[in-house]
Amino acid sequence: MIILTIMSLIMILISSILMTISLIISKKSLLDREKCSPFECGFDPKSLARIPFSLHFFLITMIFLIFDVEIALIFPIISSFMLVNFFIWYKISFFFIIILLIGLYHEWNQNMLNWTN
């Protein structure tokens, strides 16, 4: 047990030393305007380097991620079917699916699932 504690402390010490060294070495000058500007073959940029993105695309991505996590939460419900009481499993599953369907209906009602407005 003591060996495990000593090894953990050594790993924390080594990682802290490496992070401190990298922070010291990679000090960048935030005041230099030329280094912060985008580089286009040695010339000044003709337009903005950062192109604005569609907020609707971002919202569609968030909806996809939410439903992806919900699907990941449904898998344990399916695998626990044989391990728990059927009525408790049915109530929890039904409640979870109803919440998902209410969220889907709300997004549909707000026209968030349409790509173009």
- Asked if residue 52 is part of any domain, the answer here is no
Q: Answer whether 0.75 is exceeded by the pTM.
A: no
Q: Is residue 49 one of the residues assigned to a domain?
A: no
- Confidence at residue 49, expressed as pLDDT on a 0 to 100 scale: 60
Task: Locate 54 and state its tokens.
Answer: 């569609």
Does residue 38 sit within a domain? Answer: no
Answer whether residue 50 is part of any domain: no
Query: How many structural domains does the chain have?
Result: 1
Q: Could you write out the three-class secondary structure of 45-111?
A: CCCCCCCCCCHHHHHHHHHHHHHHHHHHHHHHHHHCCCCCCHHHHHHHHHHHHHHHHHHHHHHHHCC
* Structure confidence by residue, pLDDT tens digits, 25-58: 876 655 566 666 666 566 665 666 666 777 778 8
* Residue 46 within a domain: no
Structure confidence at residue 47 (pLDDT): 64
Please write the tens of the pLDDT for every residue from 49-86. 666 777 778 878 888 888 888 888 888 888 887 888 88
Domain coverage including residue 68: 57-109
